[in-house]
Amino acid sequence: MSGANHVDIRTLSHPETATLEGKNKFLGFWFFLGGETVLFGTLFATFIALRNRVATGPSSQELFSLPLTFLSTIILLVSSLTSVFAVLAMKEYKIRQMQLWFWLTVVLGLAFLGLEITEFKEYVHEGLGYTTSAFSSSFYTLVGTHGCHVLFGVLWISALMIQSYKKGITTVTAPKYYVSALYWHFIDVVWVFIFTIVYLLGILGG
Amino acid sequence: MTANAHALAAYNQRKGFLSWLWTWLSTVDHKRIAILYLFGGGLFFVIGGIEALLIRIQLAVPQNDFLVGSTYNEVVTMHGTTMIFLAAMPLVFAMMNAVVPLQIGARDVAFPFVNALGFWLFFLGGIVLNTSWFLGGAPAGGWTAYAPLTTEFLGTGSDFYLLGLQLSGAGTLMGAINFMVTIINMRAPGMTFMRMPLFTWTSLITSTLILFAFPPLTVGFFLEFFDHIFHANFFNTAKGGNAIIFEHIFWIFGHPEVYILVLPAFGIISEVVATFSKKRLFGYTSMVFATVLIGFLSFMVWVHHMFTVGLGPMANSLFALATMTIAVPTGMKIFNWLFTMWGGQIHFTTANLFAVGFVPTFVMGGVTGVMLAVPSADSQYHDSYFVIAHFHYVIIGGVVFGLLAGLFYWWPKMFGKILNETLGKITFWTFFIGFHLTFFPQHFLGLIGMPRRYFTYFPDEGFNTWNLISSIGAIGMAIGAIVLVINIVITTAKGQKAAGDAWGIGRTLEWSIPSPPPEYNFAQTPLVKGIDTFWKEKMEGNKKVTPAEPLGDIHMPNPTILPFLMSIALTIAAYGFIFANQTSASRPLCLVIAAFGIGLMLLLMLIHSIKDDPGFHYHKEEIIEIEKGAE
């Protein structure tokens, strides 16, 4: 909004919601995450209904390894923390710090994706293809949808960070940084549910 | 005027088809997007209507061979799908786009870019679905696309259904988020939630329902799509899949969808009845309460579509009770409309005729709805013409009557000309009588045992007379629709010019500005003093609404072609996936094309992220000029 341009941005404690556009983005993104929650909820429900339908393929008890997924979980949780630091830095207009923390988030996201790809390769090797059973289809679809979200988050935050060297922290860019971090937290929360419902329940066989 | 606005004005002056096309392809103005939705939805409404007539021709006499077997299945499927997703939904969005920002005193919607993207995704999704007729056959699995019929036993038509609706569904979801944020964040000063006009309220609740109901549909269609194209096993029993999951997912979307469509119609009726009774809406607070309650309950009742699946007496009873509960808030609304009319100075304009015709028609649909909510009785009604009669009373008697009322009511606001009232009344009477003639006999057809979705019947089954009457009624509805089209053409050519307060008795903010409104809607943001604030001001002797700010420069977004290009990118991806399933030889190439479409989409998103739109300003002097010209 034109009005905000006349004020020194550094006096604003919440640059992400200083303008009407920023407020709209903020609220709209929360609603979007509400829709995403229902989307993942439906995928979870489908997975829960089909998780023991292994047909002739391997079951989750035979496949999952706790150490590997525990490592993935730690990596993703830490990446959520780094994105919090990035947003805190943004609110203090420390652009270098913000960039550092966001880049760290991206690196952790990539590490997570690398682990996930290794894991999927291993499962395919052990005979769990996408078309093996209802369990395999629902497993790969749920975890894969999450993986695609992580990939999109990595691309998105990277694109914002490359631009940030030129654009800095303004009332236009601050809402973008903020909602990208919000998105990152969301995929982290989804992973916590995947870890519990897919992996822990899968290993314990509940 | 800034350089940008100058360029734009110069651009608009360069006449010619291409520049005309460009302005529509790149518009982000909610009033223009409303017109796009209106004509896009209107186009599909005509297509769906022709399909309905084909069905009625086939069923007019026993053992007819006009449309048989799979051709009939295709027409029935496309009629239902087109009417729900490509006609009713966009027409609701047309009304919301045209009216909601004006009713809350806003200059624009929260996300003009997303608004345009939502429209183009809907429209191209509809085109994708309808091209199936020419590219190997239309989907034939019914509008509900149950698995495993759709995923295993039907041809490539299913892919057009799944991908086309995925596109238009994404567009709808974006539109919903846009309206939620617009209504919550952009109300004029003084416009508290409990002062919002009822149409705005119902738009807000409908948008909320879309936000929570469309993601399950997206997932359900993706699962079928994965089953059909990548041979996943969600609904493949041989490998442990379970087809009932799809029914649950579909109806978790499908039932709220009914309310997504009908709530805005309720809102329109509330506006039209109050205006043309020259009375404040009776029981405003209870109307709001009933709207919210219906929205909430709509997520609690999906199993009543699945009573015959066999989920057990406990599940069926609970969902039956929840279903019957919805009759309570709906009944509250019906009584409130009647009490609004009670003692009012009722003007029987076409808009109000549709609103008044709506009330008894919708009540009849509601009564059969409560009948269907009884599980034991439903075993008898299920999949019979009784169900067809019920939901056409609700969808036509509720949604279409509501939309037509809204169309006649707000047409002058959208286009600056009043639709011809004589022709309008002909439309109403032919459509209203034709409707009852078509669907009332179908109750009896259902009760005496005619099943839905069958393409013919034998002469000695006792179905002949009712079917013939039903088909004759369809002609009445067709005449009503044709007269409406003629009316639109005549009005556009030489209609009576509308004043800002086109009906002279407008109550809400949209009537306080010129018809059609300038691009920025309100020269000065209005100050809202109560419910029906414009009426209040008029009663106090003011011609205009009190402004909440001094006259100043107005910031507007620039038009952009990106939303259209993004929709094209996703359309390419959709066709890639569709053709990947047709021949195994071209499969890799088609998947590459699909990947290209998705890549193009990501690239366009990146461009949108990099290119900040500075917008342009209407300067104070220009606004004074424009406002003078409008008076």
CA–CA gap between residue B94 and residue B35 (Å, rounded): 7
User: What was the pLDDT predicted at A4?
Assistant: 44
- Quote the pLDDT of residue B8: 55
Nearest residue in A to B232, CA atom: A131
Instruction: Give the Cβ contact number of residue B193 at 10 Å.
Output: 12
B232: chain A residues, CB-CB within 8 Å? 130-131, 137, 141
B579 located within any domain: no
DSSP state of A52: T
| Structure confidence by residue, pLDDT tens digits, A127-181 | 999 999 999 999 999 999 999 999 999 999 999 999 999 999 999 999 999 999 9
Q: Which helix (H) or strand (E) holds B618?
A: strand B616-618
Best A40, A130, A138 member to test B by mutation, with max B CBs in 10 Å, is: A138
| Angstrom distance (rounded) from CA B411 to CA B404 | 10
B11 interfacial to chain A (CB closer than 8 Å): no
Chain B residues closer than 8 Å to A5 by CB: none
Is B575 a member of any domain? Answer: no
> Hey, are the CB atoms on A2 and B236 less than 8 Å from each other?
no
What pLDDT digit, counting tens, does each position of A62-92 carry? 999 889 999 999 999 999 999 999 999 999 9
pLDDT at B144: 95
Residue that has been written with the tokens 């679905």 in this structure: B129
Q: What letter does residue B190 receive in the DSSP assignment?
A: T
Q: CA-CA distance, B575 to B591, in Å (whole number)?
A: 10
DSSP reduced 3-state for B384: strand
Smallest CA-to-CA distance from B414 within B29, B8, B28 is with B29
What's the token pair of residue B430?
């032919």
* B504 burial via Cβ count (<10 Å: 0-12, 13-18, 19+): exposed
Q: Does residue B4 form part of some domain?
A: no
In a domain, B20, yes or no: no
Residues B242/A134, Cβ–Cβ less than 8 Å = yes
Which tokens sit at B525?
A: 């943001």
Q: Quick count: other Cβ atoms within 10 Å of Cβ A100?
A: 16
Q: What is the DSSP letter of B559?
A: P
* CA neighbor of B464 nearest in space, from B65, B67, B63, B62: B62
Statement: residue A44 has pLDDT above 70 = yes
Q: B117: Cβ–Cβ under 8 A, 6 or more apart, which residues?
A: B171, B174, B563, B566, B567
List the single residue in B with minimal CA-CA distance to A172.
B612
Strands B496-497 and B554-556: unpaired
Evaluate whether residue B567 is within a structural domain.
no
> Does a structural domain hold residue B607?
no
> Do residues B502 and B511 touch, judged by C-beta distance below 8 A?
yes
Is A141 in CB contact (< 8 Å) with chain B? Answer: yes
Spatial CA neighbour of A152 closest among A36, A28, A24, A31: A36
Distance from the Cα of residue A186 to its chain's centroid: 6
Buried b / exposed e over A38-74, threshold 16 CB at 10 Å, is: bbbbbbbbbbebbbebbeebbbbeebbeeeebeebbe
Q: What are phi and psi of B617, to 5 degrees?
A: -115, 140
**Average pLDDT score, chain A:** 92
* CATH code where residue B206 lies: 1.20.210.10
Residue B116 CA to its chain's centroid (Å): 16
d(CA A128, CA A125): 7
Kindly state the tokens that stand for B142: 């019914």
Is the pLDDT at A8 greater than 70? The verdict is: no
B285 domain-assigned? yes
Helix-helix angle B112-131:B89-103, to 10 degrees? 170
Domain count across chain B: 1
Token duo for residue B231: 């041979």
Across the interface, do A35 and B173 touch by the CB < 8 Å criterion?
A: yes
Task: Give the pLDDT score at B1.
Answer: 41
Is B196 an 8 Å CB contact of chain A?
no
- B615: Cα within 13 Å, side-chain hemisphere: 18
Q: Which residue is closest to A33 within chain B, CA to CA?
A: B211
Q: pLDDT band at A1, cuts 50/70/90?
A: very low
pLDDT at position B13 is 58
Residues spanned by the domain of B444:
27-560+613-630
Domain range list for chain A: 65-206
pLDDT category at A16 given cuts 50, 70, 90 is: confident
Q: Which residues in chain B show pLDDT less than 70?
A: 1-15, 631
**B110 CA: distance to closest CA in chain A (Å):** 6
CA distance B113 to B117: 6
Which CATH code, of 3.30.565.10, 1.20.120.80, 2.30.42.10, 3.10.20.30, is assigned to A65-206? 1.20.120.80
Report residue A3's pLDDT band, with 50, 70 and 90 as the boundaries. very low
Residue A12: its pLDDT value, please?
A: 78
- When scoring B115, B174, B177 by the number of chain A Cβ atoms within 10 A, the one with the most, hence best to mutate, is B177
Q: Which two tokens stand for residue B364?
A: 């009849």
Q: Between chain A and chain B, how many beta carbons pairs sit less than 8 Å apart?
A: 116
